[in-house]
Structure 1
Amino acid sequence: MHRTGGEPPLLRLEDICIKFGFVEALKSVNLDINRQEVVAIVGDNGAGKSTLVKIIAGFLQPGFGHIYLNGEEVTIPSIRAADRMGIASVFQGQEFCDNLNVAANLFLGKEVNIGGVRDDEEMNSRARSVLKTLSSAIRVGSPIASLSTGQRQTVAIARTLLNDPQLILLDEPTAALSVMQTAEVLSYIKRLRSEGRTVVMVCHDLPDVFAVSDRIVVIRQGRISGVHRTVETSYEEIIAEIAGVATEHEYEEITESPKYGNMVRERKLIDRTMSAALDRNAKGYWAGNE
């Protein structure tokens, strides 16, 4: 989707393999990531989800395979190199300096200097601008230590926007968040897509995946077992692929599980809270309001 004519995908992975000792973590992975879409990568623990994202981010190097960015073959030797290529990433446990404010944390290690002097005014201005892009109500002068877990995640996402990336990689962006915080982060992800960016997210929570993704990639035991357009699949189909379900009886057990019913109800709650979060931000609670 989001392709025109003979335009190559934004990112193409061909035969990506990686081993840790004698363990094959990824086995001949082939995947296209298109422009202006949200792709969710799902799978059981140890399936290879985060490993795949870390290869795209430059954190890990594949043992074999080819990576193409905008149709050109590339190597991504480091996270810094990925950043220069327009690939930004947010991993779990993002570190902040609790003694600094939001703006200072956004520019940590990338401070704006004029004549050797740090330009706080310019950094504050750019911080407001990037947070306003997300419709975030976070104030740039707030101490980072005063923010909730969800707000800190928002700052981590905002930090990726400073270099105007094409592709943003998110590893479990809604983990350990409340329903409202989750809804806000998911609404920010939708906003990133509406601005023309592509988001690849690892996520274990299927209601979040179905709420925001355009395509779902299922990884099982180091291989891609399925790629689905979200509007054309279901919880049952995705769970079955994650679990490696092979029989009709096993498939029926999925739909009869109380866990499945809980996911359906949670998805409806997320949709309502996402709408509430968007409505609240639309009323003018911008990051620039001090």
Structure 2
Amino acid sequence: MTPEAAPSDGPAPGAPLVRLDDVSKHYGNIRALERVSLEVHAGEITCVLGDNGAGKSTLIKIIAGLHQHDAGTLSIEGEETRLASPREALDKGIATVYQDLAVVPLMPVWRNFFLGSEPTKGAGPFRRLDTELMRSTTRAELLRMGIDLRDVDQPIGTLSGGERQCVAIARAVHFGARVLVLDEPTAALGVKQSGVVLKYVAAARDAGLGVVLITHNPHHAYLVGDRFVLLKRGAMSGSHTRDGITLDELTRQMAGGSELDDLRHELQR
């Protein structure tokens, strides 16, 4: 087959990997999301910011295939779709790393790296896990992301929170994710560990993935973000590109903007 006849391997240059247009989700009379739009591009980080109850979790569940939207459109690589399950989202290249990470603390790092996707060798009654391949692959993939663990045989529960997040990111990259959704990866971490995680979030971006970073910390978002979507009570309160907003203004909008000014006046009185 000539190069001219080769099929397309992805969306047109500049087209978003994932796009939401006016997506809404209701649970009975409760409005979880109302007309939310965002784009996720390859090699970019889209940050979704909001306080508790802003709708961030619902947004994650729609992109991850856990819940279906009630209105609006969800497009993956230009094709409108409605994800029926997390497995379908994974098959379409969308990997979600939740805050609890869903790891087995007493299992070694390499076993958690391949959890649910373990390679085997041999046939019939001699079929068994290919532990050598899993160990070497885990070590190589972590090193490729710049993660140098002391020993991939140590229980993953002995790693710091930041190291566990980094293993989860490397795992998603290895298994072919094109879009990586991160649910508050720095929420329970100190300054140094947060910096480590953000470094590997940036590494995933530099590897060509489209990243959705869910956070309530505008300083973390501004360190790595290319696009910023602000949610408030299920609705969008702002959408900006990096060159269109400063950290001070992003922080102000995240903190409530005019509402914060009103509160300041009340407290001064």
With the length of structure 2 as denominator, give the TM-score of the two structures: 0.86
Alignment partner of 2:189 out of 177, 180, 185: 177
| Residue 70 (structure 2) pairs with residue 58 (structure 1) | no
Q: Distance in 2 between matches of 1:38 and 1:7?
A: 14
- CA displacement at 1:110 relative to structure 2: 1.0
- CA displacement at 1:251 relative to structure 2: 8.4
Q: 1:220-259 alignment to 2 at 5 Å?
A: 220-246=232-258, 250=261
Partner of 2:19: 12
Partner of 1:136: 147
Give the direction of change, closer, same or farther, for the CA distance of 1:74–1:211 in structure 2 (3 Å limit): same
Q: Distance in 1 between matches of 2:262 and 2:17?
A: 35
| Residue 79 (structure 2) pairs with residue 68 (structure 1) | no
- CA displacement at 1:239 relative to structure 2: 3.4
**Range 196-205 or range 30-39, more displaced:** 30-39
Q: Extract structure 1 runs of 4+ deviating beyond 6 A.
A: none
Structure 1 unmatched runs, 5+ = 255-290
Q: Distance in 1 between matches of 2:176 and 2:87?
A: 14
Q: 1:57-206 alignment to 2 at 5 Å?
A: 57-114=64-121, 115=123, 116-138=127-149, 139-206=151-218
Asked if the contact 2:50/2:254 (under 8 Å) is kept, the reply is yes
Alignment partner of 2:228 out of 213, 216, 226: 216
Give SS of 1:103's match. Answer: helix
- CA displacement at 1:52 relative to structure 2: 0.8
Give SS of 1:94's match. Answer: coil
Asked if the contact 2:44/2:226 (under 8 Å) is kept, the reply is yes
The letter of the residue matching 1:125 is S
- CA displacement at 1:105 relative to structure 2: 0.6
Structure 2 unmatched runs, 5+ = 1-10
Partner of 2:4: none
The letter of the residue matching 1:54 is K
The letter of the residue matching 2:36 is V
Give SS of 2:47's match. Answer: strand
Give the direction of change, closer, same or farther, for the CA distance of 1:25–1:117 in structure 2 (3 Å limit): same
Give SS of 1:175's match. Answer: coil
Give the direction of change, closer, same or farther, for the CA distance of 1:95–1:161 in structure 2 (3 Å limit): same
Q: How many residue pairs are counted as aligned between the two chains?
A: 250
Q: Distance in 1 between matches of 2:84 and 2:264?
A: 45
The letter of the residue matching 2:105 is D
**Range 223-232 or range 79-88, more displaced:** 223-232
- CA displacement at 1:106 relative to structure 2: 0.8
Alignment partner of 2:32 out of 9, 16, 25: 25
- CA displacement at 1:59 relative to structure 2: 1.6
RMSD of Structure 2 on Structure 1 (CA):
2.2
Q: Distance in 2 between matches of 1:238 and 1:223?
A: 17
Asked if the contact 1:236/1:251 (under 8 Å) is kept, the reply is no
Q: Distance in 2 between matches of 1:13 and 1:213?
A: 18
